[in-house]
Amino acid sequence: MALKVGVVGCGDIAQWNYLPGTKALAGTVDVVATCDQRFDRADQAREQYGTEECRAYESLDRLLDDAEIQAVEILTPWPLHFQMALRALQAGKHVYVQKPMCQTLAEANQLIDEASRRGLVLSAAPPSMVSPTMQRIKTSIREGVIGKVGMVFSHSSHGGATGGGRLTDSQWFFMREAGVWTSLVDMGVYGLHTVTGILGPAKRVTAFSSIAYRDRTFFSPERPEPRPVQITAHDNGIVMLDWGEGTIGTVDGSFTAITREGPNLVIYGSQGVISASGRGGNFRLYRRDDGGAYPRGWSEVDAQGTVVADGGPSAPQRGGGQRVVVQGRPVSGQSQGPAPDVAHWAECIEHGKKPILSGEHARHVVEIMEKAVTASQSGQAQELTTTF
């Protein structure tokens, strides 16, 4: 029987991803209600992505009063996530919330406690760790394929959501009212979820952040002419994490990366290196020595752990056939099918399982981001207290 969901927030992230992705899950997950402060947008989403009986609301309270709705996807701007998620949980609805789950450790604790008390499934974006590729990398690390991890680097930045083609005005992303270091909250959150998802909870954090490009240009869909704005939130920064026992890493969270070359993720171990671009597709593996299924040197490995190409100077492709030289960036495949995070959440609700994208993992990342701001402002490393 399909999980009946209400979608709250019908702006850019919903229209680009979650509404079409959830509609593709019809029969497993059905959109039976939509909600947006602009009723016309909610109504358009209802017509395009909902079931025949789907209702449109402009009030969260009215949506939560809808007895048919079992679960809620919260896709609004992040300053609204905590209050909306809390109200949905209090109304007895399972919750999937866009990243970040909330803005403070205290808020995260309250959401987790509320979900636990009511027996509800709380799950949070980003979807990185439901990727079979990321799970294979995690398994490879735990199996010691590259030995003891010494360093990890994750690139989690872009140039900032200031261009055309948006349904909403993005200036708020760059203003102090949305947070001290908004590029960390918007973009760094991806890398933080990935590196902690693979290596586990970190123990300490320090960071640097600032405003790099103060003068930016924005536009409103209602007023398409560009307008200059002086931003007030930090748009540039790097987080440094310490897992203990000599394992350290960095994650950037910036609106200054107008383009990038090279992998998103590199993990250096005592016996090898893992390099990945995107959260899907294949990844590259370097091994110092032959080791079971993995040859010496660079290989390309798929999400099942199979060597699909051997980059040695004279090595044939595994399984016969033409040799494929592995060089440059690995194959990147962002697509994992329709809304894999929502599909996983629905499966966990149906079978009573704890989601990979758990509230506890999201809480750990929220704590890292909150304390990274403190570290950046104080110049002192901060101890982390949460695990997952």
pLDDT (tens digit per residue) in 159-176: 998 877 788 899 999 999
Q: Are residues 36 and 80 in the same domain?
A: yes
CATH (domain of 27): 3.40.50.720
Q: Are residues 123 and 139 in the same domain?
A: no
Q: Are residues 181 and 104 in the same domain?
A: no
Q: Are residues 277 and 289 in the same domain?
A: yes
Residue 351, domain member (yes or no): no
178 token code pair: 């949305």
Q: Are residues 106 and 133 in the same domain?
A: no
Q: pTM of this prediction?
A: 0.93
Of 112, 128, 144, which one is at a domain's C-terminal end?
Answer: 128
Rounded to whole angstroms, how far apart are CA atoms 14 and 22?
Answer: 10
Furthest-apart CA atoms within the chain: distance in Å = 66
Of 310, 344, 362, which one is at a domain's C-terminal end?
Answer: 310
290: confidence class by pLDDT, cuts 50, 70, 90: confident
Q: Are residues 80 and 145 in the same domain?
A: no
Q: Are residues 114 and 199 in the same domain?
A: no
Is pLDDT of 335 > 90?
A: no
Residue 112, domain member (yes or no): yes
Q: Are residues 104 and 136 in the same domain?
A: no
29: confidence class by pLDDT, cuts 50, 70, 90: very high
Q: Are residues 91 and 167 in the same domain?
A: no
What residue type is 168 in one-letter code? T
Rounded to whole angstroms, how far apart are CA atoms 182 and 196?
Answer: 20
Residue 363, domain member (yes or no): no
Number of structural domains (the chain) is: 2
Rounded to whole angstroms, how far apart are CA atoms 111 and 85?
Answer: 7
Instruction: Quote the pLDDT of residue 147.
Output: 97
Domain that holds residue 42: 3-128
Q: Are residues 88 and 223 in the same domain?
A: no
Rounded to whole angstroms, how far apart are CA atoms 358 and 272?
Answer: 30
How far is C-alpha 189 from the chain's CA centre? Answer: 6
Instruction: Quote the pLDDT of residue 185.
Output: 98
pLDDT (tens digit per residue) in 192-245: 999 999 999 999 999 999 999 999 999 888 888 889 999 999 999 999 999 999
CATH (domain of 246): 3.30.360.10
Of 66, 96, 128, which one is at a domain's C-terminal end?
Answer: 128
